[in-house]
Amino acid sequence: MLTRSSTELVRQRNSVLVLAALRRHGALSHTEISDFTGLSSATISAITADLEKGEVIEKSEQQAASGRGRPRVQFRPRRDCGYLIVVIISSDGVQYSLVDYAGTLIDRFSEERSHDPHGAARFADAVGEGLERLLSRSRLSRTKIKLISLSSKGLVSSDDAVLLWSPIFGSERIDFEAALRASWQAKIILDNETLLVAAALGAREDAGNPDGLRSLAALSLGHSIGLGIVRNAGPAEREISAPNFGHMLHVANGGLCRCGSRGCIEAYAGFYAILRMAFEVPDDTIPAKFVPVGELDKIAARARQGHRMSAFAFRQAGVALGNGLSRLLSLTERMPVAITGPGTRYYDLLRPGIEEGLAQSHMVRMQGMPELRVVFDEPLLVFEGHLNRALSVIDGDIVQAGFHI
Amino acid sequence: MLTRSSTELVRQRNSVLVLAALRRHGALSHTEISDFTGLSSATISAITADLEKGEVIEKSEQQAASGRGRPRVQFRPRRDCGYLIVVIISSDGVQYSLVDYAGTLIDRFSEERSHDPHGAARFADAVGEGLERLLSRSRLSRTKIKLISLSSKGLVSSDDAVLLWSPIFGSERIDFEAALRASWQAKIILDNETLLVAAALGAREDAGNPDGLRSLAALSLGHSIGLGIVRNAGPAEREISAPNFGHMLHVANGGLCRCGSRGCIEAYAGFYAILRMAFEVPDDTIPAKFVPVGELDKIAARARQGHRMSAFAFRQAGVALGNGLSRLLSLTERMPVAITGPGTRYYDLLRPGIEEGLAQSHMVRMQGMPELRVVFDEPLLVFEGHLNRALSVIDGDIVQAGFHI
DNA sequence: ACTTAATTTCTCGACTGTCGAGAAAATAAT
DNA sequence: ATTATTTTCTCGACAGTCGAGAAATTAAGT
């Protein structure tokens, strides 16, 4: 609101509006774009002509037969306008994906991550090598890569692509911007993984019913706990954030967390915490680095057969999550919570605790229990979130640069 | 971003830009406006001519002698362009203020609030009567009132001016929009009191050093606990929110709170809670309705003289606040915390607890203790916040309506 | 007293943008 | 072939910003 406006800016904004419509609804004709954006037909002519001359969009070959009258000619993004690399960093490894401007996957491979403990410094270089490999396999010009979109669990400074805290490297920071800037002129962004899940769910949601949803939280359960929030601020404008939920204080002087603090939510609801409690290990024991899922499956099986301590471990985990969510909801507005991640397989065991933990707060007593839903297929959502976010960033950059830099 | 733009909108935005500059810096000349807004001189001529014709601004009489050359002629908002009523609802009473478009106070009086317990329904009417009284004293035309800006402690739905939960009326909702809409065509807004404090502090802050501050929290200590957050989102764009901090869960199954729940922060840090703990009353005792400040002063005096239980009560209160703040900061970014309200007189007793409570979290261990500052003069800040917010709302409305409805 | 320099404000033409109306294009139905 | 229908394109009107230079107005210099 408080920066000066000019007529050129109007054109820029309306151009990204057109591109966004194309992303959301696929190939569109002149009149459809006009309908979706609310811009007049004449303006659409002007903008599409510009975008076409700038080699950003192209006329689709197959024109949708629309009955009588002059046939519609559809526009769509040009695949070769620019390329995007998606890098998903997980505890097992790193997945590299090359995607074109139309959002279709071109190449993908994964690399094992060395579990070198003091490898934080080296890790950024390893990612650099992975990127080089992807580029050389593609035979594309380096300048065609417009954006490198990274994601990881943990705490992230998204402005400057610095990983501040991660489950694997702790508080050894990794500055991807600094590490990659020399070799790439592509923009580099880094987001929290669960934030992207939330973004994807939000996009799916209001693809179904536009402006139906106000906000939504995604809670990812696994070895660590992630949370992403998407909030509809203003007309069709989404705002996303990734609070440091897993390491929010659950109880003062509580169980020892992987991060070195005591009493974090993760120290009760992370996989290692459930394991610790199920085996009645003192809660100041140093947490296990990795817990195979099979191990937790066994505990879950025992809990389902009535083993008291195993059931209690899941219930305690649920209460920690429920209390945390209640605190979150006290600070925001009421919103539905989508639960994802490998931990969803134990949702039957966690749910009673979550509801108990939620019910202990003023907020829930006043406004009722928030809607809880379980969403599977987390990896797919992460990738979808990358695409949603990255492609719209590229759109903005291209338009701002006056098509083609 | 996702609504269509047009040239007219550009003019609107730039017009409010000019008005905002006038608000922030007082009367300004043509060239000064150009400097502050970044708009060209020609544009300033066009916009100021429009605003002057629309009777929104006027040329100031006293022209600042600026040495050689053609003397500067200053613009300022016309006092009679519109009027604003500020209604501050507190536990003691209701204060009504009439303010003109230039932001100067014209009339003010306070009314005792009847402590009628089932008076929620009647209260809105009482406010209506107060407004009538203010209007008739002013001899202004009713249509000249452009905005009624209310504030209260508690939980508020700001879009539609509904008080959802307040310390006095509990969860009996009060719909001011519905109650006043019939008699007033002025816009009606309702904000949380501490939110306005945060807004005022934020405005003061970046009046000092522009874009120096990223965000800020205001914590109001008193019979109840209030919190407001102001966040700088984008260039010179502020976002404010008032989370339900006082009733965020502190400890599960903890002390009984005034709201009926157990374990809220307020049930440990509110004045009644400190009283309860100092006298070793069981913490499930129904909280006192009102605690005279003198009573708490006595406890503070004893605590300062070394009385164990009194000191402990303040320390516990501090820990509750500290834990709550640590949770808040886990979910947002690190930000300075300004402490206001009557409770600041006990800050010496509270501080150790607050710091202990903060230190128990991962966030604080990683990023260090947030800056804590004490700010007196809360009532002044509340009024200042009203003005900041209300006048810019009026500016927006006037411009949108094409000067004069 | 007159001129000159300095500074501020105003005005004009160029440019960019959106929009509505209607022309042009292209196909199906008659 | 012609007509109806639908889509796309084009043109002129209008709104806005900007840079450059003209006009206004005062202080300083002679």
pLDDT tens for residues B363-399?
A: 888 889 999 999 999 999 999 999 999 999 999 999 9
| A134 in a structural domain | yes
Q: What is the mean pLDDT of residues B296-314?
A: 96
Tell if the CB–CB gap between A252 and B360 is shorter than 8 Å. Answer: yes
Q: Kindly determine whether the C-beta of residue B68 is less than 7 Å away from any atom of nucleic acid strand C.
A: yes
| B2 in a structural domain | no
CB within 8 Å of A179: residues ≥ 6 apart: A124, A125, A127, A128
CB within 8 Å of B141: residues ≥ 6 apart: none
The CB-side HSE value for A23 (13 A sphere, CA atoms) comes to 23
Contacts 24+ apart (CB under 8 A), B31-39: B31/B72, B32/B72, B33/B75, B37/A4, B38/A3, B38/A4, B39/A4, B39/B14
Range of the domain at B19: 7-77
Tell if the CB–CB gap between B243 and A330 is shorter than 8 Å. Answer: yes
Residues A28 and A101 in one domain: no
- Enumerate the β-bridge partners of residue A291: none
| Model confidence pLDDT, tens digit, residues B229-270 | 998 876 667 888 899 999 999 999 999 999 889 999 999 999
Instruction: Answer whether residue A2 shows pLDDT above 50.
Output: no
Sign of torsion over alpha carbons B189, B191, B197, B201: negative
> CA of A45: how far to CAs of A48, B26, B105, in Å?
5, 45, 53
Residues B106 and B16 in one domain: no
Residues B179 and B274 in one domain: no
Q: Are B244 and A363 within 8 A, CB to CB?
A: yes
Q: Are A236 and A210 within 8 A, CB to CB?
A: yes
pLDDT band at A320 (very low <50, low <70, confident <90, very high): very high
Q: Which of A25, A50, A77 is the last residue of a domain?
A: A77
Residues B71 and B86 in one domain: no
| Model confidence pLDDT, tens digit, residues B73-129 | 999 999 999 999 999 999 889 999 999 999 999 999 999 876 565 677 789 999 999
Of the candidates A215, A210, A207, A226, the one whose C-alpha atom is nearest the C-alpha of residue A336 is: A215
Instruction: Answer whether residue A193 shows pLDDT above 50.
Output: yes
Residues A284 and A304 in one domain: yes
Here the tokens at position A51 are 């975008």
How many structural domains does chain A have?
Answer: 3
| B190 in a structural domain | yes
pLDDT at res. A1: 42
Any idea which residue has 């002057």 for tokens?
B52
Least confident among A211-220, B335-344, B385-394: A211-220
| Model confidence pLDDT, tens digit, residues A273-311 | 999 999 999 988 888 888 889 999 999 999 999 999 999
Beta strands in B30-153 (DSSP E): 57-59, 74-77, 83-89, 93-100, 105-112, 145-152
Q: What are phi and psi of B271, to 5 degrees?
A: -55, -45
SS3 of residue A313 by DSSP: helix
Axis crossing angle, helix B7-25 with helix A7-25, rounded to the nearest 10: 120
Tell if the CB–CB gap between A244 and B360 is shorter than 8 Å. Answer: no
Least confident among A51-60, A180-189, B283-292: B283-292
Tell if the CB–CB gap between B245 and A20 is shorter than 8 Å. Answer: no
Q: Kindly determine whether the C-beta of residue A11 is less than 7 Å away from any atom of nucleic acid strand C.
A: yes
Q: Kindly determine whether the C-beta of residue A65 is less than 7 Å away from any atom of nucleic acid strand D.
A: no
Q: Are B94 and B88 within 8 A, CB to CB?
A: yes
Residue of chain B whose Cα is closest to the Cα of A39: B4
Here the tokens at position B67 are 């040495």
| B200 in a structural domain | no
Instruction: Answer whether residue A405 shows pLDDT above 60.
Output: no
Instruction: Look up the CATH number of the domain holding residue A262.
Output: 3.30.420.40
| C1' of C20 to CA of A403 (Å) | 29
B-chain CB neighbours of A165 within 8 Å are: 366
A-chain CB neighbours of B17 within 8 Å are: 2-4
Instruction: Look up the CATH number of the domain holding residue B47.
Output: 1.10.10.10
Task: Say how many CB pairs under 8 Å bridge A and B.
Answer: 154
pLDDT at res. B186: 96
What is the bridge-based pairing of β-strands B28-29 and B74-77?
antiparallel
> In this predicted model, which residue has the larger pLDDT, B110 or B65?
B110
Residues A39 and A125 in one domain: no
Q: Kindly determine whether the C-beta of residue A41 is less than 7 Å away from any atom of nucleic acid strand C.
A: yes
Residue of chain A whose Cα is closest to the Cα of B266: A362
Residues of chain B (272-301) having a beta carbon less than 7 angstroms from strand C = none
Q: Please classify residue B234 by burial: count the beta carbons closer than 10 Å to its beta carbon, then call 0-12 exposed, 13-18 middle and 19+ buried.
A: exposed
Q: What are phi and psi of B384, to 5 degrees?
A: -60, -40
Distance of CA A386 to the CA centre of its chain: 6
| A228 in a structural domain | no
Residues A265 and A307 in one domain: yes
Instruction: Answer whether residue A404 shows pLDDT above 60.
Output: no
pLDDT at res. B294: 93
**pLDDT > 70: what percent of chain B?**
94
Longest dimension (CA), chain B: 77
Instruction: Answer whether residue B130 shows pLDDT above 60.
Output: yes
Residues A111 and A61 in one domain: no
Residues B253 and B340 in one domain: yes
| Model confidence pLDDT, tens digit, residues A120-150 | 778 999 999 999 999 999 999 999 999 999 9
Residues B170 and B113 in one domain: yes
> In this predicted model, which residue has the larger pLDDT, B28 or A64?
B28
What is the bridge-based pairing of β-strands B174-175 and B187-192?
unpaired
pLDDT band at B212 (very low <50, low <70, confident <90, very high): low
What is the bridge-based pairing of β-strands B145-152 and B83-89?
parallel
pLDDT at res. B1: 43
| Model confidence pLDDT, tens digit, residues A328-366 | 999 998 899 999 999 999 999 999 999 999 999 988 888
Residues B357 and B390 in one domain: no
Q: Are B345 and B300 within 8 A, CB to CB?
A: yes
Residues A22 and A121 in one domain: no
Instruction: Answer whether residue B318 shows pLDDT above 50.
Output: yes
CA–CA–CA angle A243, B367, B263 (5° rounding):
55
Q: Are A135 and A141 within 8 A, CB to CB?
A: no
CB within 8 Å of B232: residues ≥ 6 apart: B202, B206, B211, B213, B214, B215, B238, B239
Here the tokens at position A294 are 């099979």
Q: Which of A33, A57, A77 is the last residue of a domain?
A: A77
Tell if the CB–CB gap between A17 and B4 is shorter than 8 Å. Answer: yes
pLDDT at res. B115: 59
Nearest-CA residue to the C1' of C24? A70
Instruction: Answer whether residue A10 shows pLDDT above 50.
Output: yes
User: What's the one-letter identity of residue B25?
Assistant: H
| C1' of C4 to CA of B48 (Å) | 32
pLDDT at res. A161: 94
Residue of B237, B260, B327 with shortest CB distance to A1: B237
SS3 of residue A264 by DSSP: strand
Any idea which residue has 């966004």 for tokens?
A20
Tell if the CB–CB gap between A261 and B365 is shorter than 8 Å. Answer: yes
Nearest-CA residue to the C1' of D8? A30
Instruction: Answer whether residue B343 shows pLDDT above 60.
Output: yes
Q: Kindly determine whether the C-beta of residue B73 is less than 7 Å away from any atom of nucleic acid strand C.
A: yes
| A72 in a structural domain | yes
Q: Which of B36, B62, B77 is the last residue of a domain?
A: B77
| B184 in a structural domain | yes
Instruction: Answer whether residue B405 shows pLDDT above 60.
Output: no
CB within 8 Å of A67: residues ≥ 6 apart: none
| A67 in a structural domain | yes
SS3 of residue A93 by DSSP: strand
